[in-house]
């Protein structure tokens, strides 16, 4: 699909339209899924459609899910409220978009200098994260499930090179989630907007730089046409989990086997989505470099260190939050990150460093 089509289908601001209550006919329950993405956008748009189809298939057709892309029923950033209010039964988006609801939500999606995609699942399943996830979203009448991950994101597209942290001060930059707060701490002028809107802002000069996801999705949106310096590592989002939020009342009304279908569909999609991103990011980056003149550039170590200090301030703010649930989520995340991170020095990190030494064999 062409970038122009994404810009058209991804346009936000459409007036919300109230959907009918879930239809039930001849034993079939019909649900509507609203998403934060243009239809079939490589990466999240594709994943959203796959999830809708998988729920329908695993239920044997007893639970039919129809997808509505961003702007078709509600704006992309309106899907959380639409499901909370019962306008739709479920949504596909990322936790990083819901910081205005509670900063504690942001930790379930991505964290500066935080968890990798596999570690994020580890925290959810084995570190107490899912119970906290349920407790937080339960405040809004939503049952949440992780259902995918982009893997490591990039720091983004820049017209100019970065040599020191001073080069970032005042830079108009698109990012989201806790990365926004980290970048603001070092003096960047952070702006939130959709992926398609980011292209238009880069093109017009309203933005100096920005990040969205990674090479596969980013190339489809055409950022390389207006900025050639592509910076890594994406320290703001070492991974970014995708989620499915289900209206709690609609979920509770399902028989137990269909509740299991929804949960299984989400869990089974996580690795499929994550590995597709990793595979297609690699292919897309090779093409961007070889045919589009894109230059991958590493952030200077001095910049990474300054961002680490800024991220530390953000985390201290969360640990001192007046909401005790936010504090519990933060402490749980930090404890899991530090525990598994200390082990990864010997395990995955050691293996990757060793492989890099002899990659040419």
pTM of the model: 0.91
Query: Could you tell me if 223 and 268 lie in one domain?
Result: no
174 known member of a binding site: yes
* Structural domain contains residue 289: no
Does 58 map to a domain? Answer: yes
Q: Is 211 annotated as a binding residue?
A: yes
CATH of the domain at 322: 3.40.190.10
* In a shared domain, residues 346 and 256: no
Do 202 and 131 sit in the same domain of this protein? no
Residue 287 lies in a domain: no
Q: Are residues 243 and 188 in the same domain?
A: no
pLDDT of residue 141: 98
Q: Are residues 135 and 219 in the same domain?
A: no
HEC string of the chain? CCHHHHHHHCCCCCCCCCCCCCEEECCEEEEEEEECCCCCCCCHHHHHHHHHHHHHHHCCCCEEEEEECCCCCCCHHHHHHHHHCCCCCEEEECHHHCCCCCHHHHCCCCCCCCCCHHHHHHHHHHCCHHHHHHHHHHCCCEEEEEEEECCCCCCEEECCCCCCHHHHCCCEEECCCHHHHHHHHCCCEEECCCHHHHHHHHHHCCCCEECCCCHHHHHHHCHHHCCCEEEECCCCCCCCEEEEEEEHHHHHCCCHHHHHHHHHHHHHHHHHHHHHHHHHHHHHHHHHHHHHCCEEEECCHHHHHHHHHHHHHHHHHHHCCCCHHHHHHHHHHHHHHHHHHHHHCCCHHHHHHHHHHCCCC
Q: Same domain, yes or no, for 128 and 271? A: yes
339 in any annotated domain: yes
The answer to whether 153 is a known ligand-binding residue is yes
Residue 135, annotated as binding a ligand: no
Residues 70 and 212 in one domain: no
Quick one: 68 and 144 in the same domain? yes
* Same domain assignment for residues 85 and 129: yes
Q: Are residues 310 and 184 in the same domain?
A: yes
* Total domains, the chain: 2
User: Would 338 be classed as within a structural domain?
Assistant: yes
Q: What is the pLDDT of residue 54?
A: 98
Predicted local confidence at residue 1, as pLDDT: 42
Residue 87 is assigned to a structural domain of this protein: yes
Query: Which pLDDT tens digit goes with each residue over 167-190?
Result: 999 999 999 999 999 999 999 999
Residues 78 and 201 in one domain: no
Answer whether residue 251 is part of any domain: yes
pLDDT of 23 reads 57
Domain with 187, as residue range(s), is: 156-237+294-357
Domain of 99, CATH number, reads 3.40.190.170
Would you say residue 31 lies in a domain? yes
pLDDT in tens, the chain (361 residues): 444 444 444 433 333 444 445 555 578 999 999 999 999 999 999 999 999 999 999 999 999 999 999 999 999 999 999 999 999 999 999 999 999 999 999 999 999 999 999 999 999 999 999 999 999 999 999 999 999 999 999 999 999 999 999 999 999 999 999 999 999 999 999 999 999 999 999 999 999 999 999 999 999 999 999 999 999 999 999 999 999 999 999 999 999 999 999 999 999 999 999 999 999 999 999 999 999 999 999 999 999 999 999 999 999 999 999 999 999 999 999 999 999 999 999 999 999 999 989 876 6
* 171 lies in the same domain as 300: yes
Of 249, 279, 309, which residue is a domain's last? Answer: 279
């Amino acid at each position: 699909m062409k970038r122009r089509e994404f810009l058209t289908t991804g346009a936000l601001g459409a007036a919300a339209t109230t959907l009918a209550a879930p239809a039930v006919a001849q034993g079939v329950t019909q649900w509507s899924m609203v998403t934060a993405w243009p239809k079939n956008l490589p990466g999240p748009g594709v994943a959203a459609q796959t999830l809708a189809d998988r729920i329908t298939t695993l239920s044997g057709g007893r639970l039919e899910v129809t997808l509505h892309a961003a702007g078709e029923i509600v704006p992309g950033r309106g899907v959380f409220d639409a499901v909370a209010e019962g306008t739709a039964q479920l949504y596909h988006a990322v936790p990083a978009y819901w910081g205005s609801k509670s900063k504690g939500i942001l930790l379930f999606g991505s964290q500066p200098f935080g968890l990798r995609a596999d570690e994020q699942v580890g925290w959810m399943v084995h570190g107490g994260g899912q119970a906290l996830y349920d407790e937080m979203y339960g405040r809004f009448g939503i049952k949440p499930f992780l259902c995918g991950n982009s893997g490591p994101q990039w720091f983004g597209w820049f017209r100019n090179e970065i040599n020191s942290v001073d080069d970032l001060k005042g830079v108009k930059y698109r990012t989201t989630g806790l990365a926004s707060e980290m970048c603001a701490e070092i003096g960047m002028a952070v702006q939130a907007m959709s992926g398609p809107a980011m292209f238009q802002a880069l093109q017009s000069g309203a933005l100096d730089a920005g990040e969205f996801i990674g090479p596969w999705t980013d190339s489809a949106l055409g950022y390389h046409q207006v900025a050639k310096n592509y910076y890594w590592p994406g320290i703001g989002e070492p991974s970014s989990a995708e989620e499915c939020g289900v209206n709690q009342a609609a979920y509770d009304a399902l028989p137990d086997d269909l509740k299991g279908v929804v949960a299984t569909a989400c869990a089974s999609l996580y690795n499929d989505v994550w590995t597709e991103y990793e595979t297609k990011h690699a292919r897309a980056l090779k093409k961007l470099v070889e045919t589009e003149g894109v230059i991958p550039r590493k952030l200077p170590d001095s910049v990474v260190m300054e961002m680490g200090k800024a991220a530390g301030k953000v985390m201290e703010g969360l640990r001192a939050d007046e909401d005790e649930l936010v504090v519990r989520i933060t402490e749980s995340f930090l404890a899991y990150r530090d525990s598994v991170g200390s082990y990864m020095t010997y395990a995955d990190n050691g293996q990757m460093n060793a492989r890099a030494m002899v990659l040419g064999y």
